[in-house]
């Protein structure tokens, strides 16, 4: 038996380990539960939920790029009501903290969604998506506006006492300004980064490969950018950070923690190897044990820059 | 649905750059049905990053066969992997063809590499139903007959069989179909499926089609592969999970 303490703290939220599954890469948990024991995970974050169901963008929604992929799904989701009625009963069966990701087109919609969901005891925290690059209203318009991020955080704070995590966009000059606005308006943590805006063309047809023209870039290609953004927030703002961006193996998790993350989210990797998150947890424990790290949380922001 | 490492047993090259890969995978061969697919990771590298979807071309004993042409880096790696090296298979995925039902003759309509699922289909159906196969291609180079029987060919340039597209050839044979109790099973490019849908609706023939779409996961979590539904315009179906085989009347093509 290893005596490594894998628990981490995200503001008031205690997780059994730092491995969370990222929004939009686990649906509502049912498909991935066939490959990974949800009860072993730190937390899972739902697909973005909006007040009403959203159909999402027409195909083609996905294309592969070097060491990454572009997606423009367009926040397809069942809406909060169907979520509570049809998806929560399945998720209730598991002993894993459930974090609801919320996407909206207006500040009022963020507030309304959170209000409807906050009394559901299975939900342990909210992740507010102010950074989806693939919808015409809301999304990046908010994510690019530091005052809007502050206002959304402030308003959502008034309707829930559960932890609030603001998911930040990397498509800005100084991400730490946004983390600061989130903190000052009552957020408990930030997650960074959402996808980077990108595109790709078919050289024969001269058309974009993605119908939406641009999509969000994810996968190992964005890991260095994500690490730099996490480090920037860590150096400038005192707030727990959930690191996201191209994690493919346990070493990447350690790297994100050193750069300032208290926990991480695994995203694109779930599409390639949905059994990977469980394996990574075991490997992290082995590594810490061998390296003499008794508390994994001691790695957070342990960078040595000089 | 499982993830397995399966060793490559044989590389076969059919005519015209069509490759056939024989893979030992008893965990899959015992449960897979014609029309279902596999999502395959060709290497552990991060480029190519994603799995590639392949329909299962044939199943013989403990071995399965994949048919493909070299389209890019993923298929290039696959075509040159050494014997006995493993490929990482996620599957079986999606819904296959509904072979049951009130029909006596299965009419296969395949365009180009759309032939891929039909050797397995033919093997599964041939003892129970009559099979008529119609294959279309731009030229004779695109006509893949591997593993199929009772074949009629249409080529756009007339280099083999009927000159014209495969749906025009079906129209030539409509009296034959009307004299039998038929059900159509199709796979091929979108223009072919579009024309076939019109043909089947006009003649009141039942038709199932295997569709394709760029996707990442293959089992419903990435939401990358939507297809428009005729039943509910508010909600897309997913090619990977609700398909890839659909009754033609349920989807907008």
Bridge partner residues of B66 (DSSP): B21, B56
* Residue B23: pLDDT over 80: yes
> Are the C-beta atoms of residues B128 and B209 closer than 8 Å to each other?
no
Q: Is residue A126 part of a domain?
A: yes
Our measurement of the distance from residue A249's CA atom to the centroid of its chain's CA atoms, rounded to an integer in Å, reads 17
Q: What are phi and psi of B2, to 5 degrees?
A: -145, 170
User: For residues A245 and A66, what is the distance between their CA atoms, to the nearest angstrom?
Assistant: 15
Bridge partner residues of B151 (DSSP): B133
* Residue B16 pLDDT class (50, 70, 90 cuts): confident
Q: Give the closest residue to A166 by CA, choosing from A192, A197, A139.
A: A192
- For A272, which of B49, B224, B226 is closest by C-beta distance? B49
Tell if the CB–CB gap between A271 and B217 is shorter than 8 Å: yes
Find the chain A residues whose C-beta atoms sit closer than 8 A to any C-beta of B.
24-27, 31-32, 34-35, 47, 53, 55-64, 66-69, 71, 73, 76, 219-220, 248, 268, 270-275
- For A31, which of B213, B216, B220 is closest by C-beta distance? B220
CB proximity B52 to A under 8 Å: no
Q: List Cβ neighbours of B219 (8 Å cut-off, separation of 6 or more).
A: A31, A274, B1, B39, B90, B93, B240, B241
Q: Is residue A282 part of a domain?
A: yes
Q: Is residue A189 part of a domain?
A: yes
Q: Give the closest residue to A212 by CA, choosing from B218, B73, B226.
A: B226
**Residues A60-74: what's their mean pLDDT?**
97
Q: Is residue A206 part of a domain?
A: no
Nearest CA to CA, how far is B60 from chain A (Å)? Answer: 27
* Residue B101 pLDDT class (50, 70, 90 cuts): confident
Domain count across chain A: 1
> Are the C-beta atoms of residues A11 and A188 closer than 8 Å to each other?
yes
Q: Give the closest residue to B224 by CA, choosing from A241, A59, A69.
A: A59
Q: What CATH number should be reported for the domain whose range is B105-210?
A: 3.40.50.80
Domain ranges of chain B: 2-93, 105-210
Q: Is residue A203 part of a domain?
A: no
Q: Which residue has the higher pLDDT, B81 or A144?
A: B81
Is the peptide bond prior to A300 cis by the omega test (within 30 degrees of 0)?
no
Q: List Cβ neighbours of A120 (8 Å cut-off, separation of 6 or more).
A: A84, A88
Our measurement of the distance from residue A7's CA atom to the centroid of its chain's CA atoms, rounded to an integer in Å, reads 19
CB proximity B33 to A under 8 Å: no
* Residue B124: pLDDT over 80: yes
CATH number of the domain within which A166 lies: 3.20.20.70
**Catalytic residue numbers of A, as ranges:** 132
User: For residues A228 and A225, what is the distance between their CA atoms, to the nearest angstrom?
Assistant: 5
User: For residues A221 and B28, what is the distance between their CA atoms, to the nearest angstrom?
Assistant: 33
* HSE-up (13 A, CA, CB side) for residue B143: 23
Question: Residue A166: which domain range?
Answer: 8-56+73-196+218-299
Is the peptide bond prior to B48 cis by the omega test (within 30 degrees of 0)?
yes
Nearest CA in chain A to B222: A25
- What is the CATH superfamily name and number for domain B2-93? Translation factors (2.40.30.10)
pLDDT single digits (tens) A130-168: 987 666 666 667 888 999 999 999 999 999 999 999 999
Chain A hits for B51, Cβ within 8 Å: 271-272
Q: Is residue A63 part of a domain?
A: no
Q: Is residue A145 part of a domain?
A: yes
Its pTM stands at: 0.96
Mutation target among A62, A71, A277 for the B interface, most CBs of B within 10 A: A62
């Amino acid at each position: 038996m290893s005596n490594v303490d894998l628990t981490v703290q995200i503001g008031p939220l205690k997780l059994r380990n730092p491995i969370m599954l990222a929004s939009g890469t686990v649906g509502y948990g049912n498909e991935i539960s066939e490959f990974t024991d949800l009860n072993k995970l730190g937390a899972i974050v739902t697909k973005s939920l909006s007040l009403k169901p959203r159909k999402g963008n027409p195909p083609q929604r996905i294309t592969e790029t070097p060491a990454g992929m572009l997606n423009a799904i367009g926040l397809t989701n069942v809406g909060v009501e169907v979520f509570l009625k049809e998806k929560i009963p399945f998720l209730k069966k598991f002993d894993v903290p459930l974090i609801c990701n919320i996407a909206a087109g207006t500040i009022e919609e963020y507030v309304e969604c959170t209000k409807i969901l906050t009394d559901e005891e299975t939900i342990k925290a909210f992740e507010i998506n102010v950074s989806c690059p693939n919808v015409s209203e809301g999304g990046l318009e908010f994510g690019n506006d530091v005052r809007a991020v502050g206002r959304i955080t402030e308003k959502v704070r008034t309707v829930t006492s559960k932890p609030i995590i603001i998911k930040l966009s990397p498509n800005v000059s100084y991400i730490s300004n946004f983390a600061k606005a989130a903190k000052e308006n009552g957020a408990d943590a930030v997650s960074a980064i959402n996808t980077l805006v990108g595109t790709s063309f078919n050289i024969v047809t001269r058309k974009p490969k993605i119908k939406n023209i641009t999509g969000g870039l994810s996968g190992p290609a964005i890991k260095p950018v994500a690490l730099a953004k996490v480090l920037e927030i860590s150096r400038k703002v005192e707030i727990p950070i959930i690191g996201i961006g191209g994690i493919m193996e346990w070493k990447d998790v350690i790297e994100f923690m050193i750069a300032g993350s208290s926990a991480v989210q695994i995203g694109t990797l779930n599409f390639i190897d949905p059994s990977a998150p469980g394996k990574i947890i075991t490997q992290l424990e082995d590594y810490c044990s061998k390296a003499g790290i008794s508390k994994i949380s001691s790695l957070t922001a342990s960078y040595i820059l000089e | 649905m499982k993830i397995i490492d399966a060793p490559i047993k044989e590389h076969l090259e059919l005519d015209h750059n069509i490759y056939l890969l024989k893979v030992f995978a008893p965990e899959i061969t015992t449960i897979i049905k014609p029309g279902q697919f596999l999502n395959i990771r060709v290497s552990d590298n991060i480029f190519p990053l994603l799995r590639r979807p392949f329909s299962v071309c044939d199943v013989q004993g403990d071995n399965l066969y994949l048919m493909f042409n070299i389209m890019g880096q993923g298929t290039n790696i696959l075509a040159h992997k050494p014997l006995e090296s493993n490929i990482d298979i996620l599957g079986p995925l999606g819904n296959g063809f509904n072979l049951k039902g009130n029909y006596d003759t299965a009419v296969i309509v395949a365009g180009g590499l759309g032939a891929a699922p039909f050797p397995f289909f033919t093997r599964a159906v041939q003892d129970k139903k009559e099979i008529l196969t119609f294959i279309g291609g731009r030229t004779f180079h695109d006509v893949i007959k591997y593993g199929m029987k009772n074949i009629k060919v249409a080529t756009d340039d007339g280099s083999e069989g009927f000159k014209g597209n495969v749906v025009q050839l079906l129209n030539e044979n409509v009296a034959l179909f009307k004299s039998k109790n038929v059900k159509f099973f199709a796979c091929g490019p979108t223009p072919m499926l579009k024309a076939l849908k019109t043909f089947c609706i006009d003649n009141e023939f039942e038709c199932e089609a295997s569709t394709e779409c760029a996707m990442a996961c293959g089992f419903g979590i990435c939401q990358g592969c939507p297809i428009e539904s005729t039943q509910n315009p508010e909600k897309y179906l997913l090619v990977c999970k609700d398909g890839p085989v659909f009754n033609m009347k349920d989807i907008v093509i």
